[in-house]
Structure 1
Amino acid sequence: MKKQFLLILFVFGFLTFSLAQKKRITLEEIWGGAFRTEQMDVLRSMKNGKQYTILNFGSIPQSSSIDKYDYESLEKVETIVASSAIVPFFTSYEFSEDESKVVLATEIEPIFRRSRLGIYYVYDIASKKLIKISETKIQEPTLSPDGSKVAYVLNNNLYVFDIASRTTKQITTDGERGTIINGVTDWVYEEEFAFVRAFEWNNNGTKIAFLRFDETEVPHFSMDVYGQNLYPFQYEFKYPKAGEENAKVTLHVYDVDSGEISNVDLGGAYYIPRIKWMNNPDHLSVQTINRHQNDLKLHKVDVKDNSVSLLLQEKDEAYVDVDDDLTFLENDSFIWTSEMDGYNHLYLYKKDGKLKNQITQGPWEVTSYYGYDQSKDKVYYQSVENGSINRDVYSISSNGKNKERLSSKTGTNSASFSADYTYYINTFSSATTPYEFTLHKVAKGKRMKDYNQDNELISKGRLIKDNSDLLNKLEGYELVPKEFSTINIDGNDLNMWMMKPADFDPNKEYPLLMFQYSGPGSQQVANKWFASNDYWHEMLVSQGYIVVCVDGRGTGYKGRDFKKVTYLNLVKFETEDQIAAAKKLSELPYVDEKRTGIWGWSFGGHMSTNCLLKGNDTFEMAIAVAPVTSWRFYDTIYTERFLRTPQENPGGYDNESPFNYPELLKGKYLLVHGSGDDNVHVQNSMRMIEALVQANKQFDWAIYPDKNHGIYGGNTRLHLYTKMTNFIKENL
């Protein structure tokens, strides 16, 4: 008995000693970049399918290069161009269709989430000549298919630059800030339809199709910029809030030879979220969708006479998602993704728009579409067939047969294919393995093998790059794994992960901190490598907290009905699920039910605020960063997709708006916002603050001057996470 006691004491002592030897993660390390992962930046396959290019940044500051590598050997073949005394430092690149030229981006200046201004150059690979496109910063320069011209946008007008003659032709003249935009999107299209360049060359370079936005009637939004000068100034832009006027968007076609612009009549289409040329250079595909976003149409425009015909129409009782999966095959039949059978799957249509067959099917979702190899009749895609928290790469014939799983490791796999689909580079990570990049031959999905000059096998696989150095570094830190499981709430099995302290004792009680985002179609419970918040959660766990994340109803990758159950009642069911999950977790013997907190950012900030108020008997603390507090303040496209307009559905907007019930606040509340948030305006927090003040409720808050929705820059993130850490320590 004494020996057994000594053994237990020894094991406990060894555990304590080993933990004492481990370092704990610090905020300074997280936000100082100590745990950055190695990546393959801007990976592109060359058209020959034999080589690929990578954007590499040198050890010398402000140095970059485009390097070409051989798939078969993985050896660097050449440096196509590198920054030098002649070539300025560049941060992205785009090849012409024939790969004779490349556009280099320099002096990039962000506008909003995706839009950029910059000084751009065309680099001629054969002659090694560098040509500046414009002396002024421009947007979205795009080479014509033959590499002879560059189309771009400057001051809301479309231009074409002729490389040989070095001359520029202005295509549109009516562009004006706050009124007319040609060739790039307005704020709400950029944010919610996720694209900026609203013009496209056809495949022989004879036509440019472009969108024109008339935002004259869109209400102005302004925010103060405090800056460094004596007086602040107001930054104004057009922002259509739910129920307000959107820009009137029209489609036009520019003929390069004649210089004429023609108008395409789409019959009063409300939104035009995608345009894409077909393989026939005279045929343009156009997607339109109504304001409720539940009636999506795919049109074909014959630009010889601008006649319009309907190829496909898809309706949904809730909404139809817009994506970039549409792919035209050689004969202009096409591949399309849809949730029509209850899950997101691939479909094959004839060129006249008639359905030929469903390619993938089953109670799981296709999450990415990679492409189609016509020569082998193979479709390549990523899906969650191996569990909704995992991702795998598959191939399948266009008739839906001969499906093959190409990836092999359980976790998150994604693929970048060579142009001829001979090879692909697999990116893998899991909750315990940082990113690995491996080369595979498509034929069997196997990792390629290394041989020496005598054709002797010397390696089991073709590893291109991994993060073993990071893993070795993390060996010295006190880290715990995420424990993946599900929690049943009202008959729904919700995905969950939990992190417990390394010296976890089931006989002790620990405070519980929940993290979530919860937005429609989103996912936080995923078997993939750490994001910055995961390191922060590890830090909190090392200080004695249990951290949990639950993906409730409305989140993604579990089918249409699970995702769209929140339609017209955004945040209601999501809040109920988090409160119910917290109550259930509080029943665990090692969770202190009197110390339960929740935090989130953006949609998640709305959620954490609602949970603290509506679940005031469950949560003692909440942190809300950049929260929506009323969907009346958010933009048309996102909000009306899920709620319709405030005029049609006032209850859906107001019943879950926390500043309408501030008297429910009992626990500790920290509210954070950036004053320069162009997305979720600081107005949301100001209205919440005023409601709490008038209800005489005490709380903590912080405003970060001129910071946008990401709240970063300099020491900002370090300061923010220090504040949140201290708030948790003091109140949980």
Structure 2
Amino acid sequence: MKGKLKCIGLMLAIGLLSSMSAMAQNKQFTLEDLNFGGVNYRKFYPENRYTTWWGDRLIRLNLDYCAEVDKTSGKEKRIVSLDEINKVAGLSGSELVRSLYYAAFPYADKPVISVENSGERFLYNFKTKKVEWRSGVLSTDPGHNVYGDEKQSSEWNSASRATAFVAGNQLYVADAKGNIAKLTTDGSRDIVYGQSVHRDEFGINGGLFWSPKGNKLAFYRMDQSMVTDYPLVNIPEIDWTPKEGQSRIDTPEPIKYPMAGETSHKVTVGVYDLRTKKTVYLQAGDPTDRYFTNIAWSPDETTIYMFELNRDQNDCRLVSYDAASGEKKGELYRETDEKYVEPLHPIVFLPWDNSKFIMQSQKDGYNHLYLFNKDGKEIKQITNGKWVVMDFLGFDAKSHDIIYSSNEANPIQQNIWTVNVDNGKRKLVDESGKGWHNGTISASGRYILDNYQEPTVPRKISIINSETAKCFNYFTAPDPWKGYNLPEYSTGTIKAADGVTDLYYRLVKPVNFDPKKKYPTVVYVYGGPHAHNVDARWHWASRSWETYMAQKGYVLFILDNRGSENRGKAFEQVTFRHLGQEEMKDQMKGVDFLRTLSYVDTTRIGVHGWSFGGFMTISLMTNHPDVFKVGVAGGPVIDWKWYEVMYGERYMDTPQTNPEGYRQTSLLNKAKDLKGKLQIIIGLNDPVVVPQHEFSFLKACIAAGTQPDFFVYPGEPHNMRGHQSVHLHERITQYFEDYLK
């Protein structure tokens, strides 16, 4: 009897464990778990290590301490704490340094950490336990307290310890002693100093450029007084109460927005000398309808280099200027193209030979590295092949190697390579030769921190000796999705509409997939330049929303069509002057592939995308109304004549020179062809795809008698921020649940 009871108890225990195991494997995600902005998001994102280099020493950065990492064992040794810095610096309250995640170690040979609070920079010596220097910009003199909430941009130079910054639209420079020079007096929303210009195109992400030793500052000046205002409106927070005498009415917040074919801004480049206290401007000629980008300094600080582009963006020149006088020294290089040239990277001088520099160009059809002398003579092409250099990481001066990343191994991979400048020999140096690798290099270039993912690897961080190619594991992230019932993620290729080109796709099958069932399918699309969706990261770079939808019984299909990035110039430029047309042809080849899959219900195909993907969503729904039953288009371009000059004219030319292309790609005349259920979603304060696009399409639909749905996020820009992103993806999901399932 006891044995029988014992046996029954064992069976119950086994059954309970099996039930618990089944429950664990059936755990479901919520959008609060998966979506950026969700309350649990960080728990389900692969764990990371935030690091920086101190010379050739690797430093781990944390909220409240920094630790040196042993490059062969991965062991960490704490070297400085946040509390220690704040205590020694005498900081409290609002003056406290809040985090060490953004700390830097600017001097390879000194035990000094650079940190900032709300307005000052500190150099703290963690060996002597002393503050060696503080910026003094926030001094006791109220007249010098010009940072505060007004700071619009700033750039510090570690060599001279000078800071350039913009406050109240004016440009200032503070020297190492805290003496402030006001460089401008005419700054305004019309005259913009020291900030990004040309709407962040051409690789531009700032407007302040220190010389190597910090003795001179180059800066942008943008006159946009001639550019038309676009009328955005500021809507107060819901709990906002106006002060006495203050209007309750929403206030206008117009932006300067140069639309394709219309008057654009004018940019010039100034140079300030800290020693002479004088400013000169580069004598580049009339800036009307010209772009100045990728500013670089010579190592000796005597010369400034920049790429100059005509408005048609088909004639690009590398020009040098005397930094003292602003006079033009010469034109070093010229590249033209029947479609467009797009310079994205400044030149970089060899650290062992200042008479030569490296330049990146797509002139042979793929982005590669070239060696020039300082007079502009091309010495040789350093890399070549039908693949692209994706990032220049730096130099190993001792071995004369360039360290870079490319997709030579596979079009959807990014791996770390070295190439010898002298003999051109290339070497793959990352640990796996697979996956997607992001590298940062030490001061000498001898060591590389390799932070990477593979389709089955959430994250791994290795330390590579670039000279020996030996790798040491530093950190392997646990799988944050372990124990959850996951969909199947896969990838493959199909032929493009040209019948020749391979296109890569990602396929996500529903959780608990049954091949005998028929499933609703959503095509997620972007499709535009400078982006792609499919690569060899974790889960083949699947977006978390795809997993959420797979839980609900959907197939997800994602295809990188021609026109997207990292496949060479011809692949990208096929869309020139008729955006959306070749992209749609390729996406429909994807639909043809879906029709071959027995488990895809071809009567229930939906499409979703944002920005260019929103444009593609409406394009597909109106050009192929019998294929796509439901669509959700976020922030969609409707007519390219309303998009900005730099991006729009690069790919479409102007409405005046390409009227047929603009007519063909406009969605206004497609409003009548809408059949399925379409939801359009925007941020009301979108400064990228301005609301005129969507409002005009709605007006066209009203005239045509078609019925799209519309939802707006008041006060939000092009993408929804914070927890509103969870709300957004709930809304997208529910629309497919209501009309596609």
Could you say whether these structures have the same fold, taking a TM-score greater than 0.5 normalized by the shorter chain as the test? yes
- Unaligned runs of 5+ residues in structure 1 are 1-13, 58-63, 108-118, 449-462
C-alpha deviation, 1:106, in angstroms: 4.4
Equivalence for 1:487: 494
Equivalence for 1:315: 336
Equivalence for 1:8: none
C-alpha deviation, 1:531, in angstroms: 9.9
Equivalence for 1:79: 80
Equivalence for 2:476: 466
- Asked if 1:339 corresponds to 2:365, the answer is no
- Asked if 1:354 corresponds to 2:362, the answer is no
Name the CA distance, whole Å, in 2 between partners of 1:198 and 1:441.
Answer: 35
Alignment-mate amino acid for residue 736 of structure 2? I
C-alpha deviation, 1:180, in angstroms: 1.1
Distance 1:697 1:400, change over 3 A: farther
Equivalence for 2:10: none
2:733 counterpart (725, 728, 732)? 725
- Residue 268 of structure 2 aligns to a residue whose secondary structure is strand
Q: Deviations over 1:415-470 (max 9, x none)?
A: 1111112211111102221121111211232213xxxxxxxxxxxxxx322321xx
Name the CA distance, whole Å, in 2 between partners of 1:370 and 1:198.
Answer: 22
- Asked if 1:175 corresponds to 2:187, the answer is yes
Equivalence for 1:420: 444
Name the CA distance, whole Å, in 2 between partners of 1:97 and 1:654.
Answer: 57
C-alpha deviation, 1:304, in angstroms: 3.9
Q: Deviations over 1:102-138 (max 9, x none)?
A: 654445xxxxxxxxxxx34333436325445243332
C-alpha deviation, 1:235, in angstroms: 1.0
Contact kept? 2:454, 2:538, Cα under 8 Å: yes
Equivalence for 1:26: 30
- Summarize the alignment of residues 248-259 of structure 1 with structure 2, pairs less than 5 Å apart: 248-259=266-277
Name the CA distance, whole Å, in 1 between partners of 2:188 and 2:568.
Answer: 43
Contact kept? 2:233, 2:252, Cα under 8 Å: yes
Name the CA distance, whole Å, in 1 between partners of 2:173 and 2:431.
Answer: 47
Equivalence for 1:161: 174
Contact kept? 1:631, 1:653, Cα under 8 Å: yes
Name the CA distance, whole Å, in 2 between partners of 1:28 and 1:386.
Answer: 37
Equivalence for 2:302: 282
Name the CA distance, whole Å, in 2 between partners of 1:702 and 1:256.
Answer: 52
Equivalence for 2:121: 121
C-alpha deviation, 1:19, in angstroms: 8.1
C-alpha deviation, 1:391, in angstroms: 1.2
Name the CA distance, whole Å, in 1 between partners of 2:25 and 2:217.
Answer: 64
C-alpha deviation, 1:253, in angstroms: 1.7
Equivalence for 1:92: 102
C-alpha deviation, 1:700, in angstroms: 1.9
What is the percent sequence identity of the aligned residues?
A: 29
C-alpha deviation, 1:94, in angstroms: 5.0
Contact kept? 1:219, 1:240, Cα under 8 Å: yes
Equivalence for 2:629: 620
Alignment-mate amino acid for residue 158 of structure 1? L
Equivalence for 2:534: 525
Contact kept? 2:207, 2:219, Cα under 8 Å: yes
Name the CA distance, whole Å, in 1 between partners of 2:390 and 2:468.
Answer: 22
Equivalence for 1:113: none
Alignment-mate amino acid for residue 406 of structure 1? V
Contact kept? 1:271, 1:290, Cα under 8 Å: yes
Contact kept? 1:579, 1:618, Cα under 8 Å: no
Q: Deviations over 1:546-605 (max 9, x none)?
A: 111011111122221111100111111112221232133123222111011110011001
Name the CA distance, whole Å, in 1 between partners of 2:156 and 2:560.
Answer: 43
C-alpha deviation, 1:503, in angstroms: 3.0
- Residue 62 of structure 2 aligns to a residue whose secondary structure is strand
Equivalence for 1:61: none
C-alpha deviation, 1:217, in angstroms: 0.4
Name the CA distance, whole Å, in 1 between partners of 2:539 and 2:259.
Answer: 35
- Residue 219 of structure 2 aligns to a residue whose secondary structure is strand
Equivalence for 1:545: 554
C-alpha deviation, 1:636, in angstroms: 0.8
Alignment-mate amino acid for residue 321 of structure 1? E
Distance 1:198 1:521, change over 3 A: closer
C-alpha deviation, 1:233, in angstroms: 0.9
- Asked if 1:440 corresponds to 2:440, the answer is no
Moved more, 230-239 or 120-129: 120-129
Contact kept? 1:279, 1:332, Cα under 8 Å: no
Contact kept? 1:97, 1:144, Cα under 8 Å: no
- Summarize the alignment of residues 593-632 of structure 1 with structure 2, pairs less than 5 Å apart: 593-632=602-641
Equivalence for 1:381: 404
Alignment-mate amino acid for residue 58 of structure 2? Y
Distance 1:174 1:68, change over 3 A: farther
Name the CA distance, whole Å, in 2 between partners of 1:496 and 1:562.
Answer: 16
Contact kept? 2:431, 2:471, Cα under 8 Å: no
Moved more, 274-283 or 298-307: 298-307
1:133 counterpart (118, 130, 137)? 137
Equivalence for 1:143: 156
Equivalence for 1:654: 663
- Asked if 1:198 corresponds to 2:207, the answer is yes
Contact kept? 2:173, 2:180, Cα under 8 Å: yes
Alignment-mate amino acid for residue 186 of structure 2? D
Matched positions, count: 677
Q: Deviations over 1:645-689 (max 9, x none)?
A: 111112222322212221101111111001111111122211122
Name the CA distance, whole Å, in 2 between partners of 1:120 and 1:578.
Answer: 52
TM-score normalized with structure 2 length: 0.86
- Residue 180 of structure 2 aligns to a residue whose secondary structure is strand
1:392 counterpart (402, 415, 435)? 415
C-alpha deviation, 1:728, in angstroms: 0.8
Equivalence for 2:52: 44
Contact kept? 1:427, 1:435, Cα under 8 Å: yes
Name the CA distance, whole Å, in 1 between partners of 2:280 and 2:695.
Answer: 47
2:590 counterpart (581, 584, 587)? 581
- Asked if 1:293 corresponds to 2:313, the answer is yes
Contact kept? 1:181, 1:212, Cα under 8 Å: yes
- Unaligned runs of 5+ residues in structure 2 are 1-17, 139-144, 241-247
Contact kept? 2:161, 2:214, Cα under 8 Å: no
Equivalence for 1:507: 516
Contact kept? 2:216, 2:273, Cα under 8 Å: yes
- Residue 231 of structure 2 aligns to a residue whose secondary structure is strand
Name the CA distance, whole Å, in 1 between partners of 2:174 and 2:561.
Answer: 51
Contact kept? 1:25, 1:535, Cα under 8 Å: no
Name the CA distance, whole Å, in 1 between partners of 2:250 and 2:323.
Answer: 49
- Residue 39 of structure 1 aligns to a residue whose secondary structure is coil
Name the CA distance, whole Å, in 1 between partners of 2:331 and 2:642.
Answer: 35
Q: Deviations over 1:361-418 (max 9, x none)?
A: 1111111111122321111111111111111111111145321111242110121111
Contact kept? 2:395, 2:401, Cα under 8 Å: yes
Equivalence for 1:60: none
Alignment-mate amino acid for residue 212 of structure 1? R
Q: Deviations over 1:325-347 (max 9, x none)?
A: 52111323111111111111111
Name the CA distance, whole Å, in 2 between partners of 1:16 and 1:605.
Answer: 43
- Residue 298 of structure 1 aligns to a residue whose secondary structure is strand
Name the CA distance, whole Å, in 2 between partners of 1:97 and 1:267.
Answer: 39
- Residue 477 of structure 1 aligns to a residue whose secondary structure is coil
Distance 1:88 1:536, change over 3 A: same
- Residue 257 of structure 1 aligns to a residue whose secondary structure is coil
Contact kept? 1:596, 1:620, Cα under 8 Å: yes
Distance 1:475 1:617, change over 3 A: same
Name the CA distance, whole Å, in 2 between partners of 1:346 and 1:227.
Answer: 50
Equivalence for 1:457: none
Alignment-mate amino acid for residue 28 of structure 1? E
